[in-house]
Amino acid sequence: MSSQLNLYEHLADELGALIAGRIFAPGDRLPSIRHLAQQKRLSISTVMQALRLLEDRGLIDAKPQAGFYVRHRARTLSCITSSHCPKEPTYVGINNLLMRVLQANDSLGVVQLGSAWPPDEILPVKRIQRAVNTVTRRNPDLLTRVSCADMNEPNFVRQITRRAIDWGRLDADEIVVTSSCTEAISLCVRAVAKPGDTIAIESPTYFVLLQLIESLGMKALEIPTDPKTGPSIDALELAMQQGLVQACLLVPNANNPLGSIMPEANKKRLAALLSQHDIPLVEDDIYGDLCFTNERPWPVKAYDTTGNVLLCSSFSKAATPAARVGYVVAGKYAQQVAFMKTVSSGATGHFFQAVLADFIGSSSYDNQIRKMRRVLAQRIAQMSDAVSKSFPSECSVAEPQGGFVLWIQLPEQVDALALHRPAIEQRIAFMPGPMFSASGKFGNYMRLNCGNAWSVEIEKAVQTLGTLVHRFSDRPSGRIALN
């Protein structure tokens, strides 16, 4: 990847590294703007831009008349060692309990720290309305057309291909347009594996992936996953060598719930392992455009030379979840995936494919994702700060590098599932940790949605959660059994 950073981005990265290394610790004042400008031989406005960027990244705060200070943060989750070996594959039985949690989270008047949907206020509603009007005027036939033979809208496929140009040349024949990322993943898993097969997943992972494995009568193998760098490639290699897995299902860019990004070297190594063992990877890249890195991280698909990677995504997070348009770049499994799509739901509506093509093919989409990255990084930092103020000091938080959720480790004795009930009684929704594991792990973890604009209501809800966590920390643990 090319790396043509601006001067201010260089300075922000340099100061960010000093903060990460605790040369400037939480609460420390940074050198003054004038001092930095003189020392680095930069203009005052360049230094100001760098400091604003660090503020956006949630690393520092401006105090009027006093300067810039390093933010107080909650403890961060410690890294795993890559020598962890995967445990046994397990059948998944999470659906019943998950549905109860989701139903409770959905009740009226609840502060929504549960589901990870982007709030309307941050979505490009007006721009989508304009695209709807344009397509209605120019192509009214799309309001009525359905075709079984030609399922993809050509302009939508063209825009997907154009957006991937930085990292690869996609063949239009590899692409199957779907009704959401969820459908793309479901078609792919059904195309590459059968009941009884084992699927390697991150641990923790997005609960719908677990529900999917459960619904298909497959087994999950939970791969130890680092909060920063994602799944252990050593563990994946071991599992492949031992013939334990028939397919992988991973979210390498801004995993939900960790927000981890797999380093490029790991992606390259994983792609080589998949080729060597002829194992398919269903890659969920839905948060790829919403990573906080200077450059958009590449998918594993960028390093795939044998067609073993099936890249799935949609525009539900950065454009509108209501369009229900996603896609898969299916590699050597394209025919099987297209067949699955035909028998599952037929073509995805061409009208909304054309609407999304109008949007993502314009500069408005780039502006939209730039805005979302900045705003979401800030909201995550605000949530992380609030947690550090209200939760017990033994708690640790992940440092998400994209998306809009925060994964929190609570004190060992806190049962997040038991804590969910009093939280709902106090009208606060969150996702308990065990919903992200096939084997009931993460009993003392929770995931908070940080997508909503910061408000007094959210601040109070986090304080109340903190009080509950303190209360549960003083109790002997009594975990609720899964299913």
Ligand X SMILES: Cc1ncc(COP(=O)(O)O)c(C=O)c1O
Smallest gap from residue 286 Cβ to ligand X (A): 4
Binding mask 282-301 for ligand X (x = CB under 6 A): --x-x---------------
Nearest alpha-carbon partner for 153 in 169, 182, 131, 168: 131
Is the Cα dihedral 381, 385, 391, 394 positive or negative?
A: positive
**Nearest to residue 286, comparing CAs of 181, 412, 184?**
181
Helix or strand (DSSP H, E) at 181: helix 181-192
Identify which range of 31-39, 66-74, 101-109, 313-321 contacts ligand X by CB under 6 A: 313-321
Task: Report the first-to-last Cα separation within the chain, whole angstroms.
Answer: 46
Instruction: For residue 116, state whether it binds ligand X (rule: CB under 6 A).
Output: yes
**What length does the chain have?**
483
Binding to ligand X by residue 256, rule CB under 6 A?
Answer: yes
The correct pick among 31, 321, 361, 392 for binding ligand X (CB under 6 A) is: 321
Beta carbon of residue 181, minimum distance to ligand X (angstroms, whole number)? 3
Read off φ and ψ for residue 429, nearest 5 degrees.
-100, 140
Cβ-based nearer residue to ligand X, 157 or 290:
290
Question: Does 180 participate in binding ligand X (rule CB under 6 A)?
Answer: yes
Binding mask 266-285 for ligand X (x = CB under 6 A): ------------------x-
Q: Write down the least CB distance from residue 207 to ligand X, Å.
A: 9
Pair 206, 181: CB distance under 8 Å: no
The closest alpha carbon to 427, from 151, 104, 132, 163, belongs to 104
Q: Distance between CA 56 and CA 68 in Å, rounded?
A: 13
Q: Is 203 in the site for ligand X (CB under 6 A)?
A: no
Residue with token string 């059904």: 190
Cβ closest to ligand X, residue 229 vs residue 348 = 348
Residue 181 or 419: the one with the smaller Cβ distance to ligand X is 181
Is residue 316 at the binding interface for ligand X, with CB under 6 A as the rule? yes
Taking the least distance from each CB to ligand X, the nearer of 321 and 392 is 321
Residues 289-318 as b or e (16 or more Cβ within 10 Å = b): bbbbeeebbbbbbbbbeebbbbbbbbbbbb
For residue 314, state whether it binds ligand X (rule: CB under 6 A): yes
Q: Which two tokens stand for residue 162?
A: 């154009």
Q: Name the one range near ligand X by CB under 6 A: 21-29, 176-184, 301-309, 368-376.
A: 176-184
Quickly count: other Cβ atoms within 10 Å of residue 129's Cβ: 11
By C-beta, is 351 or 472 nearer to ligand X? 351
Cα torsion 414, 419, 423, 429: sign:
positive
Q: Rounded to the nearest whole angstrom, what is the least distance from the CB of residue 271 to ligand X in the complex?
A: 20
Residue 383 DSSP SS3: helix
Residues 37-76 that bind ligand X (CB under 6 A): none
Half-sphere exposure of 208 (CA within 13 A, CB side): 14
Tell whether residue 326 is a contact of ligand X (CB under 6 A).
yes
Among residues 198 and 348, whose Cβ is nearest to ligand X? 348
Least distance between ligand X and beta carbon 382 (Å): 21
Per-residue contact track with ligand X, 212 to 241, x per CB under 6 A? ------------------------------
Instruction: Give residues in contact with ligand X (CB under 6 A).
Output: 116, 180-182, 206, 251, 256, 284, 286, 314, 316, 321, 326
